Structure 1
């Protein structure tokens, strides 16, 4: 497949680039140019390096082929299953980390171990005239070079795997309708990535310089005695300590400067996910300012859509209530008035924000179940039979069932209890469930008061509406029996009537 060939080509190019920079351009040119040895000894060292390179290549190629096997399978397999595709997707994300493991494993050991053994053998047989402690320096140099190579390979591989990740995601969407995502999982955290990178960049030249200087001083007859070596390495250790400390501080500062805006945006996204559309304060003067500006622009767009959706939903509830009331000219505006009275009681009871909005919407739809009651019964002017009254009493349950059909179901959940229970009585003699006291949902207890007041003061086919004072008197009599004493008391107090001590009331027909 073309994408696979491009990926392999990029990996080979990246590997060669990293090797040239870290091994040849840095390691060989600095270390080997510092040695005072003959041309034939240079040739022998290059021969050792060449043989070691062959051994390393065999080991590393084997490991690399094993690392890319899931990717190759996913790209060439015709009957690709979803688990195979997901494995390839996750495996591709881990390729930068596996590249570091490959460089620090078979690459380092495959090159340094054979090279040290062959060089030791040549020194022992007198083919190369360098001190044995140079082997220790060579091992240290090999580790440093491998670290720098791994650093370069890591970042280049991060770029090379992007087309593969896109390909696997597109295939999953096309074939299975699933969008792969790490869901916030982090394979390589930013903090260790930045700390290690800065430490290597800061200390790598120092280590190479100190080792090269040691070799140069020894080759020129410099301080090779015990005292001379102790003095040199004391100085070198101080330089390394200062350089490492500076690199650590720089790495820590750089990491914090990057992590802070990322954490701010991540926390803001969690708020957005939970429905709290907050914006991030722009306090940055670099490219993160553009990122914050883009995030805030997205949030403002979501806020606009949220407001439009809320307005549309409000209109939807109001329209349903008006359409319901329009069936009967005698009850026109009933649902709107009940909603208004319910909000008044809710405010007096201390409800605010979403609680108050849920109460208003519930009140607007409290009689939605009457859609399922026949007109001949609903508008009957004579007394209802028991069977007909049972059908009237079914409208709270019908209303709940109607709202349960609206998607998404969880959005309707706050309104179900109030719609079902607005004809329950505080003394447990109401319907449909015979609930009593605070077992009756909060919205049901509030709407029951508002519904009763409007029903008593509105004209109906079978009677003329009561006057305001008479309706309030009945509410006062029914506190604690038919209606919740607290909410009925708040409603009475709103109209300037001080509630009397609780006493037994009597039921009335509400609607």
Structure 2
């Protein structure tokens, strides 16, 4: 399957991508042949022209074998990508193409270190061994082993360069695949399940290759040169060359590790801060950097500041929304005007006296503001009736907690309303199980319901009604105290009674 049925833009994008990979491969392969052939083999040997030609033929033949083997593997690697870019590709193939594109840099490393290196080295070793055995080449077998080691070192360098070049080449393709999936299937592609190569091994391996490979290659060339020219120097060669290589490797590792840590630190902080934002915590990062990360952290903190401002505005609007709903409800009956707001204040007071968190207090207040919202669904003839209610009318009144819950369930955002539902439904439950609508008892009643029940009862008892005047606060508090454990939660009722009595005592003392 090819990409001919894809749209022109995708075809052009794929061709550009393919030619980039091909260019990287050809340039890297030629460098391997030229450097490994001339620097490690030809430059270290003093051979007659005829033997140089034979070695050149071996390299060309090995190069042909390597090209065929690697081309087969390369086509297998990019096949899922070609299939995914086809205009008729389904979502499954698009996902497979996306993941395979992400894997391509590591597959490039595999291709260079396995089919590429072995495809060249195995034929070269076999042919060279045959010519050596027939006397058509004349140099020690150890030279061939040195050349193989040099080829391995250079292949490692080649793999590293191609890894980063391929990483750059796949980016436009990844963007196109995500656009196609979103456009055709409204799906956001991700490489879930694919294990990405982290920064640490990238930097450490690349640093070690960059720092030690040229030195090791140089040491091999000098080894063969000294062996041919100065036997005295050659005897001690690897004693001092090995020390230099070890020192170089140690400094390279330390440098790569320090650079990695310097880059990982701000990235880790940004990642943790983004997780905090995901959990609802707007965390800013201390900007202690003096490089490009300073700009990145500054931009991130600006974004967090903007989100904090928007969240504050949204919260203010949402709070106003709750207050407006409560006011709209209270406006139906002039005698209950302000009831919902007072119940919210009393409920919040109880929560504060019980050392509840800021988040819990906010939920208590919102739930209390809307605790009677279900009365919107009750007719005025019943809700505003001044005389005694019939059993049927009282049953209608008793339905308002369930009506309120049903109303709030339909309001967006649902996750903002969900914590308020238990308080709205259960604020008329009694601690002894004789309340409504579910007949819950004791601590089976949600905390919000038990708190609002105390606040609601106190405000109802102390507020004026058409058929009676409100009770004195001291009498209402006495009723709450007597009813704790039967009608109201004993802990919440007592803490409220104690606080309000202390307030009344302070007021009387102030008047005196």
Tell me if TM exceeds 0.5: yes
Q: How far apart in 2 are the matches of 1:99 and 1:151?
A: 9
Q: Are positions 1:130 and 2:139 aligned together?
A: yes
Instruction: Specify the alignment match of 1:103 in structure 2.
Output: 112
Q: Are positions 1:200 and 2:205 aligned together?
A: no
CA contact (8 A) 2:80 2:96 kept: yes
Q: How far apart in 2 are the matches of 1:235 and 1:247?
A: 18
CA contact (8 A) 1:36 1:216 kept: no
CA contact (8 A) 2:227 2:234 kept: no
In terms of mean alpha carbon deviation, does 236-245 or 204-213 score higher? 236-245
What's the CA shift string for 1:231-264, capped at 9, x where partnerless? Answer: 2222222222112112111121121112111111
Q: How far apart in 2 are the matches of 1:264 and 1:461?
A: 63
Q: How far apart in 1 are the matches of 2:268 and 2:138?
A: 57
Task: Report the Cα offset of residue 16 of structure 1.
Answer: 2.4
Q: Are positions 1:170 and 2:175 aligned together?
A: no
Q: Are positions 1:191 and 2:224 aligned together?
A: no
CA contact (8 A) 1:23 1:149 kept: no
Q: How far apart in 2 are the matches of 1:233 and 1:311?
A: 75
What's the CA shift string for 1:455-482, capped at 9, x where partnerless? Answer: 1111112222222222222222222221
For residue 47 of structure 1, the aligned residue among 57, 62, 71 is 57
Question: Structure 1 or 2: larger helix share?
Answer: 2
Task: Report the Cα offset of residue 496 of structure 1.
Answer: 2.6
Instruction: Specify the alignment match of 1:61 in structure 2.
Output: 71
Q: How far apart in 1 are the matches of 2:312 and 2:28?
A: 54
What's the CA shift string for 1:365-393, capped at 9, x where partnerless? Answer: 00001011110001111110011101111
Instruction: Specify the alignment match of 1:223 in structure 2.
Output: 231
For residue 80 of structure 1, the aligned residue among 89, 95, 119 is 89
Q: Are positions 1:6 and 2:16 aligned together?
A: yes
Q: How far apart in 2 are the matches of 1:203 and 1:290?
A: 34
SS at match of 2:282: coil
What's the CA shift string for 1:106-147, capped at 9, x where partnerless? Answer: 110111111111112222222222111001101101101111
SS at match of 1:495: helix
Task: Report the Cα offset of residue 328 of structure 1.
Answer: 0.6
> Equivalent residues in 2 for 1:59-458 (5 A)?
59-75=69-85, 77-182=86-191, 186-220=195-229, 222-223=230-231, 230-458=235-463
CA contact (8 A) 1:330 1:459 kept: yes
Task: Report the Cα offset of residue 14 of structure 1.
Answer: 1.2
- Using the size of structure 1 for normalisation, the TM-score is 0.93
Q: How far apart in 1 are the matches of 2:238 and 2:361?
A: 76
For residue 16 of structure 1, the aligned residue among 16, 23, 26 is 26
Check 1:32–1:310 CA distance in 2 against 1; reply closer, same or farther (3 A cut): same
Instruction: Specify the alignment match of 2:4 in structure 1.
Output: none
Q: How far apart in 2 are the matches of 1:109 and 1:491?
A: 83
SS at match of 2:492: helix
SS at match of 2:376: helix
Question: For structure 2, which runs of at least 5 residues remain unmatched after alignment?
Answer: 1-10, 504-512
Task: Report the Cα offset of residue 342 of structure 1.
Answer: 0.9
Q: How many residues align?
A: 494
Task: Report the Cα offset of residue 41 of structure 1.
Answer: 2.1
What's the CA shift string for 1:286-343, capped at 9, x where partnerless? Answer: 2111221121121111111111111111011000000000011111110001111111
